[in-house]
Amino acid sequence: MDTPFFLDKSDPGTWKALNGVALKVAVAAEAAGLDRALVELVNVRVSQLNGCAYCLDLHDRLAREAGVSDQQLAVLPAWRETALFDQTERAALAVGEAVTALHNDAKSFAELAQARDVLTEAQYSALQWCAIAMNAFNRVSILSGHPVRPRTAASHHTADRTDAASQAPAGATP
């Protein structure tokens, strides 16, 4: 079979529901006071961990548009090794990684405890939901083999976005 199977296209109702979840998560993130740059930083890190090329391409662009620096994105896989991330960003990244990896060990629980000391309860909850939603979108894109299309300089800022990120308010996932 040479024809790709796009999970999102095969069941539009479920895809729409997943986008609805992302919109609810965006509302929770915004209500918790999480800015778009922080949410996009988590989206990129979760997508790195999952190896989702489509979501990396999309959320790297959205992160830059939201104000995440090129340097932060360049060192994101090694965020623990640099001082480029503030306390809130470190807490958010720890939450995103914990949700994605689901390690049931003392180190993960200690990082989450530190994150809870930095974040409000609403922020801690919203960041977990952001990571859960991003993980779901990563899985749909990976299983569907969503292609990463080359961008031209002109299309860099005007690329067609077909997932919840293009319709979601500030703070939305994916």
Q: DSSP per residue over 134-172, as a string? A: HHHHHHHHHHHTPPPPP--TTTTTT----SHHHHSPTT-
Tell me how far apart the alpha carbons of residues 61 and 14 are, in angstroms, rounded to a whole number.
26
Q: Which amino acid belongs to residue 103? A: H
Look up the pTM and report it.
Answer: 0.86
- What's the CATH number for 22-150? 1.20.1290.10
Tell me how far apart the alpha carbons of residues 75 and 93 are, in angstroms, rounded to a whole number.
13
pLDDT at 94: 97
Rounded mean pLDDT, 137-155: 89
Are residues 101 and 93 in contact, defined by beta-carbon separation less than 8 angstroms? no
pLDDT category of residue 161 using cuts at 50, 70 and 90: very low
**Tens digits of per-residue pLDDT, 68-93?**
999 999 999 999 999 999 999 999 99
Q: Where are the domains of the chain?
A: 22-150
Are residues 139 and 15 in contact, defined by beta-carbon separation less than 8 angstroms? no
